[in-house]
Amino acid sequence: MPCYLFTFHAYGTWLPDRKRGYVRRDGQGIHEQNLELADKYKEQMTQDVVRFDRALQTRIIESLQETTSFQGLRLHGVATDTSHVHMLISWKDDRKWDSIRRSLKHALTTHLNHIKKQQWFTRAGSRKQVKDQEHFDYLMLRYLRSHKGVQWFEV
């Protein structure tokens, strides 16, 4: 049964000016802070930076609960922050992770567009496949719970 931790970043967050570094879609992991590149990215932005306040975090979790149920997915846990949302999800069929991630992001965007029509998330989002029970337990019991935003965990 596939199980993944998906992460969607809010639009305009996690730019190259972050002190802890940033991620590009080049498979190279975390890059060092780059203020010049951050300025270029900011010039290209088409709207203000998105921040998830507690009301939006709650709305995101409610949307994920509804969407995963409708799509036949199991939502194990969700952790939010002002700049991103993590969701731990598994499924029993042969759907590929990229199809699942794309449909979740589309559903979240559709729900949030009822509040305000805009780009809510960065282009892709990240994913980590859960390796084993120890990895799953770490994500559920430590990693997700370390976030400061609204959280939800299956009972």
pLDDT in tens, 67-106: 999 999 999 999 999 999 999 999 999 999 999 999 999 9
**Inter-residue contact 78 to 87 (CB < 8 Å):** yes
| Residue 125: predicted pLDDT | 80
| Extents of the domains making up the chain | 3-12+51-153
In CATH terms, the fold of domain 3-12+51-153 is Alpha-Beta Plaits (3.30.70)
Please tell me the distance from the alpha carbon of residue 52 to that of residue 50, in angstroms, as a whole number.
Answer: 7
CA dihedral over 27, 33, 34, 39, signed as positive or negative:
positive
pLDDT in tens, 122-149: 887 889 999 999 999 999 999 999 999 9
In what side-by-side order are the strands of the sheet with 3-9? 126-129, 3-9, 84-90, 74-80, 151-153
Of residues 20 and 111, more confidently modeled: 111
